[in-house]
Chain A
């Protein structure tokens, strides 16, 4: 742009000069010649500028300068990606929380269909960094036991085979163990899980 500015300055000077000369010169042929000479001077100025620009190879440098300048003040892509992915990970954790809560409610609803068991709580765990279900645990209360002393309650773990593994004195009845095994099978089949991924614990 400096080259163009220089050219415009030259033209301005030449035109103002021409105007003043036009005013000061007497009427006659001389005016035409002066006008012609000043016109030629302007053409020379323009051609000189064009030749100067073509000779300097200025146009080739522009893209490189622009690119380096554009990316100089901007954060690198890695930083942007890391920040975005940390928000995405937080979103994923929150979604996983809603997801497990939803599955837990579904499992409890399934368990409530079984009249022989009283399911009180369900717990779902997911595989790390995945939305696949790792395991489901259903907590059931033993009907024969009164729930007045929660501190003394020891869980009794029943596998899908229906085997009682509880440690407390409170033992579920045979009907409850059978019902627990049926429920575990239903839940495993419903969620496309392996049998050992579903556990039922008696409280």
Chain B
């Protein structure tokens, strides 16, 4: 199920990438000063404020922290994209995070070894329960550390989702304004309530329902490892399954509604435009098309800026999400590594517990990545609708 959803999302991702980016190359190149004037006229204060509030690490990765310059540069094709450098920096960051989380790994491994020792020394105590009790206390200490860092990750994920939602709420009015400017009045009217409700509802459900459900599932899974007699793993599975199902359902509804409404708006807009164009062309046979051609060329610059704003939005969304995502996946890796290291010592229970926590963290990673991906699709749909509107004209 998850694999199918992942494949579908990957196909959609590639489709929307293809839909958004080539337009930049295909457009006519309008005068640079015209582009600059249009960019200067746009209200990007809120987006700029959000970019200014970003972490230094994220800002370093941006080619230009001034959003207007970034959009202008993207529209003119002045911003050089260096995939090699981005890849190297990402690797460096991942490595740095792994090193930074080695203290967590050390704590977990040391406590697990103590647990294993206590487990093996149980027979040495006068009463067997004393050994069991100390083993249990050490185990609970280990679980406390693991759950503590898991809780921090959940909090980090909630903050990221919040940041992405706030950024989208700042970006969408600008994109809709530019959509209206290129003639997508119906699309903008349809998208306005729809986008804001979808974004906020999706963000709120991931933040307030899915992530807590995953935390509860993780807690119950740990609880199940405490005793082989008293199991609540089915309850944990139920919570995890609910969270995953909710995520899949929400993303399907989100994408479906956006795509259908967007196409309906684009067709409506192009119909209005074509009727007006036909009227002009019919009355002035030779030069009837000249005005619409001139208007088309001018609209091209607005379209170019809209696409540049969209690309800048995608870049910023990616930067907001990428660092926390790297942190989450690194901690998941640390849990799994701890589980793998501990297993040969003979502490199967702790190993399973840490491995389960690692798996749950990967699910948290998927939830946050899904939010980023769906917001990327939203931007791509709005940008793509402008392109479709102009193309149908």
Contacts and interface: CB of A to CB of B under 8 A. Distances in A.
Interface of A: 1, 4-5, 8, 11-12, 15-16, 18-20, 22-24, 35, 38-39, 42, 66-67, 69-71, 73-75, 77, 79-81, 83-85, 87-88, 90-92, 94-96, 98-99, 102-103, 106, 131-133, 190-192
A87 B40 CA distance: 12
Contacts of A4: 212-213, 216
Q: Which of A15, A23, A69, A70 has the most B CB atoms < 10 Å from its CB? A: A70
B181 A84 contact: yes
B298 A94 contact: yes
Q: Which of B43, B129, B287, B294 has the most A CB atoms < 10 Å from its CB? A: B294
Given A22-B227, A22-B229, A75-B173, A88 B183 contact: yes
Contact of B219 (A12, A70, A88, A132): A12
Contacts of B43: 83
Contact of B188 (A38, A80, A87): A80
Interface of B: 34, 38, 41, 43, 129, 132-133, 136, 169, 172-173, 176-183, 185, 188-189, 192-193, 196-197, 199-201, 204, 208-209, 212-213, 216, 219-220, 223, 226-227, 229-230, 232, 235, 280, 283-287, 290-292, 294-295, 297-299, 301-302
Contact of A69 (B132, B204, B299): B204
The 7 A-B pairs of least Cβ separation, nearest first, read A84-B180, A70-B200, A87-B181, A131-B291, A95-B295, A98-B294, A95-B294
A20 B177 CA distance: 63
Nearest to A97: B294
Contacts of B294: 95-96, 98-99, 102
Chain A interface, >50% SS class: helix
A11 B169 contact: no
A84 B176 contact: yes
B180 A81 contact: yes
B294 to A, nearest CB: 4
Contact of A66 (B179, B183, B200): B200
B230 A35 contact: yes
Contact of A15 (B129, B185, B226, B297): B226
A77 B197 CA distance: 13
B391 to A, nearest CB: 17
A71 B180 contact: no
Given A4-B212, A18-B229, A70-B200, 11 more contacts: A12-B223, A18-B227, A19-B227, A23-B133, A77-B193, A80-B180, A83-B177, A87-B38, A92-B295, A95-B295, A133-B284
